[in-house]
């Protein structure tokens, strides 16, 4: 590539600088450190009520991005999904001569608008809060009951049909040597009427939280030629200097030649941004 052609791409690359952003990172939720803790209350009004609690480990993913993976000050949320690793079981004695039990299977909590980026939000030290995050809680709750004066039977409640709730999600971000660890806590609060033979006799109230601890590897930022964790004109200048000198660092395609394909590869990496 001639020097004239080389400097013609300066404007193209520099123009791309305003579009360079942070790459989202894929975090894997660690089930050994993550759990969903749910309390379910059978509220029968004047007849009485009872509560029981259970918990399960969680597995899944979080997708998030940061302004600087080494020392983040802002974060954006892209997606999350966490599924229960085991069923939850409940037993109640809500009223006189009344018993009930339930099993929650296939439980999960997820972001309701994947693809819609929330943020960036400013971090306070390692802490952050995403406000009003649209969240869906799912799973099938099978309730078996024998209620005095009302009879016995069962009801199947699909929690995902209860709709989207909006919750503030608090968390922490801890960068390390080539990794980032995030912790997020999603509050859960949903209510479903309990019917016996078509008559609503009370409510099933589900409250609790899902705590997700997840880790992501931070990939190398190949367009960061200055090594400062920021993509800007100085990286463009450093790349062009290395390209003109046929420095191996500018051989982006690793084919032993310095040509348009290396410039194209740099442009792609620059446009993708640093993690």
CATH number, domain 25-217, options 1.20.120, 2.40.160, 2.60.40, 3.10.28: 2.40.160
In sequence order, what are the beta bridge partners of 27? 62
Strands 99-111 and 74-84: antiparallel
Residue 257 CA to residue 240 CA, distance in Å, equals 14
Q: What is the pLDDT of residue 18?
A: 43
Q: What pLDDT digit, counting tens, does each position of 227-275 carry?
A: 776 778 888 888 888 888 888 888 888 888 888 888 888 887 787 676 6
Query: Which residue is associated with the tokens 């806590």?
Result: 185
Q: Is the CA virtual torsion 70, 73, 79, 82 positive or negative?
A: positive
How many Å apart are CA 170 and CA 182, to the nearest integer?
A: 11
* Location of structure tokens 């749910």: 38
List residues bridging with 115 in a β-sheet: none
Q: How many helices (H) and strands (E) does the chain have?
A: 3, 12
Distance CA 135, CA 214 (A): 18
pTM: 0.75
For CATH 2.40.160, list the domain ranges present in the chain: 25-217
212, 60 contact by CB (below 8 A): yes
Q: pLDDT digits over 120-132, tens only?
A: 999 999 999 999 9
Least confident piece of the model among 14-28, 59-73, 105-119: 14-28
Residues 6+ apart with CB under 8 A from 93: 50, 99, 100
Joined tokens for residue 230: 């920021």
Q: Is 250 helix (H, G, I), strand (E, B) or coil?
A: helix
Tell me the pLDDT tens digit for each residue of 67-89. Answer: 877 788 999 999 999 999 999 99
Q: How many residues are present in the chain?
A: 275
Q: Note the pLDDT tens digit of each residue in 125-175.
A: 999 999 999 999 999 999 898 888 778 888 898 988 888 999 999 999 999
């Amino acid at each position: 590539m001639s020097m004239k052609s080389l400097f013609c791409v300066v404007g193209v690359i520099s123009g791309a600088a305003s579009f360079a952003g942070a790459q989202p990172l894929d975090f894997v939720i660690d089930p050994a450190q993550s759990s969903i803790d749910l309390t379910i209350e059978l509220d029968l009004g004047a007849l009485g009520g009872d509560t029981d609690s259970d918990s399960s480990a969680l597995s899944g993913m979080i997708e998030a991005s940061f302004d600087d993976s080494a020392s983040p000050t802002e974060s954006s949320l892209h997606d999350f999904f966490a599924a229960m690793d085991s069923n939850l079981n409940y037993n109640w004695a809500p009223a006189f001569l009344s018993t009930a039990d339930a099993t929650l299977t296939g439980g999960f909590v997820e972001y309701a608008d994947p693809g819609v980026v929330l943020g960036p939000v400013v971090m306070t030290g390692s802490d952050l809060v995403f406000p009003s995050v649209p969240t869906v809680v799912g799973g099938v709750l099978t309730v078996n009951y024998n209620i005095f004066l009302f009879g016995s039977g069962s009801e199947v409640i699909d929690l995902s049909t209860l709709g989207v709730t909006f919750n503030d999600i608090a968390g922490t971000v801890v960068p390390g040597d080539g990794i980032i660890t995030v912790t997020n806590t999603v509050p859960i609060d949903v209510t479903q009427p309990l019917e016996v033979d078509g008559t609503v006799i009370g409510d099933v109230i589900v409250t609790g939280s899902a705590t997700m601890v997840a880790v992501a590897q931070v990939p190398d930022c190949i367009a960061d030629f200055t090594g400062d964790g920021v993509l800007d004109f100085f990286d463009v200048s450093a790349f062009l200097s290395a390209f003109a000198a046929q420095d191996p660092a500018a051989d982006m395609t690793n084919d032993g030649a310095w040509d348009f394909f290396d410039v194209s590869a740099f442009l792609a990496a620059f446009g993708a941004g640093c993690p």
